[in-house]
Amino acid sequence: MPTSFPATTATADAPPESGASSTTGALATVPPDARPEAGASRTKSDVTKTVAGDLTVVEIAFFQAYELRLGGKAVAHTDIRDPKEARMHGFIPKVARLFDGLAPYDQVALILWWNPGNMCEGWRATFLGLRKDGSYALSEDIVYCGAAEEVVTVSGQSVTFTIPEGPPHHPAVPGALTPVHEWEYRSGTIRQIK
């Protein structure tokens, strides 16, 4: 049954809503020789230029806490040290793609949330509607565990996010296939269509 999710709307000056749940900058893999020693802290960030300002992924605590910032203000955050973290199994944000001309926004960013070393091709996806005045709308998360890399297509005023059929990474039944899952993002809302 299709499910529609309303967007969370805010401005870059307002704090993100608690629990608010491809192409440009992405969070780079950290080579082993660049990793800090246990207990050390550092900050790392990657920046994507958008119509609403810089969209930045900031690593707050090494492989533990991240923020997605728009114009320097937090839009979303994750912290796996918090047992109530909704994105526990997909906590690292990556700006995967920017889309222009998707009304009612000037631009829309597709954010993929991933977890290194998991058995899924991905865990979560979120759309971030952006306006030139710095306001934004963060959609609900699409939650999935894909057997294959997601397919993203644009058609008119909508984006379709598809997880293709494929063998599961950890097959419970040999020869079994995971079914196709598909969502549509249109006018700031997400609707599951398969």
Domain borders along the chain are 4-27+44-146
CA distances to 33, 51, 66, 97, 163 from 37, in Å:
10, 38, 19, 33, 37
Q: What is the pTM of this model?
A: 0.72
Q: What is the pLDDT of residues 140-167, one digit of tens each?
A: 999 887 667 788 999 999 999 998 877 6
> How many CA atoms lie less than 13 Å away from 46 in the CB half-sphere?
14
Q: Give the distance from CA 24 to its chain's centroid.
A: 13
Give residue 171's pLDDT: 55
pLDDT (mean) for 37-62: 76
pLDDT of residue 7 exceeding 70? no
Give residue 46's pLDDT: 85
Q: What percent of the chain has pLDDT over 70?
A: 65
* Strand partners for 142: 125
Largest CA distance in the chain: 52
Cα gap 163→107, rounded to integer Å: 23
pLDDT of residue 106 exceeding 60? yes
Cα gap 44→97, rounded to integer Å: 20
More confident residue, 87 or 185: 185
In this structure, are residues 111 and 157 in contact, taking their beta carbons and an 8 Å threshold? no
